[in-house]
Amino acid sequence: MRELNLITSNPGKLREYRELLSERFNVKMKPLEYHEIQADTLEEVVCHALETLREYAPVIIDDSGLFIDALKGFPGVYSAYVMDTLGCDGILKLMDQEKNRKAHFRCVVGLLDEEIKIFTGDCPGEIVRSKRGTGGFGYDPIFVPSGYDHTFAQMSIQDKNLVSHRGRAMRALIKHMELSFTRI
């Protein structure tokens, strides 16, 4: 089975990748520190970082963020920093008086094999009023995807992957990899 290096220090992400990719790939977690530039978009961060990871190809990195409408897209590209400083409780406080609860998650997956390819996935939803659920990671306890009643933290990995930003990006990645394999 082909090996695919996933550069992340987030075991929650690894579980989600393995759930969808393990039939086709041996996904290996590499918790390497890579240089994350401060940029306006997740795509820029991913492309720049991949350039420094050529020796690990085939390799993927995943940069994701939560974009909240009422906060003009915050925390967005600052999601990691905001999780470490304010956390879910801080976001709920910022949203305390807010009626507009709309938000979306975005996942950008960068693959470096012979060349760089980018796959994105978005998941619209809402910020709940108090944390619910113990599964998942990060902002999962405060986000309900559109059309569902449960937060990501109340869902199984399989169910989260069906609707999530990462699930969508991963399915685009799988399609691409299957097509490039049939060309070989």
> What is the contact surface with ligand ITT in residues (CB under 6 A)?
8-10, 13, 62-65, 79-80, 83, 105, 136-140, 152, 164, 166
CA gap 57, 54 in Å, rounded: 5
Which entry of 40, 62, 63, 84 is annotated as an active-site residue?
A: 63
Which lies closer to ligand ITT via its Cβ, residue 6 or residue 177?
6
Shortest distance (Å) from residue 108 CB to ligand ITT: 8
Contact 103, 125 (CB under 8 A): yes
Buried b (16+ CB within 10 A) or exposed e, 57-77: bebbbbbbbbbbbbbebbbbb
Of residues 3, 70, 67, the one with CA closest to residue 30: 3
Contact 119, 176 (CB under 8 A): yes
Which pair of tokens denotes residue 112? 């470096």
How far apart, in Å, are the Cα atoms of 11 and each of 6, 119, 149?
11, 21, 25
Which lies closer to ligand ITT via its Cβ, residue 25 or residue 64?
64
Q: Which residue is nearest to ligand ITT (CB)?
A: 138
Shortest distance (Å) from residue 52 CB to ligand ITT: 14
Shortest distance (Å) from residue 124 CB to ligand ITT: 14
Q: Is 149 a catalytic residue?
A: no
Which lies closer to ligand ITT via its Cβ, residue 13 or residue 168?
13
Which lies closer to ligand ITT via its Cβ, residue 155 or residue 177?
155
118 backbone dihedrals φ, ψ, rounded to 5°: -120, 135
Shortest distance (Å) from residue 183 CB to ligand ITT: 29
The catalytic residue positions are: 63
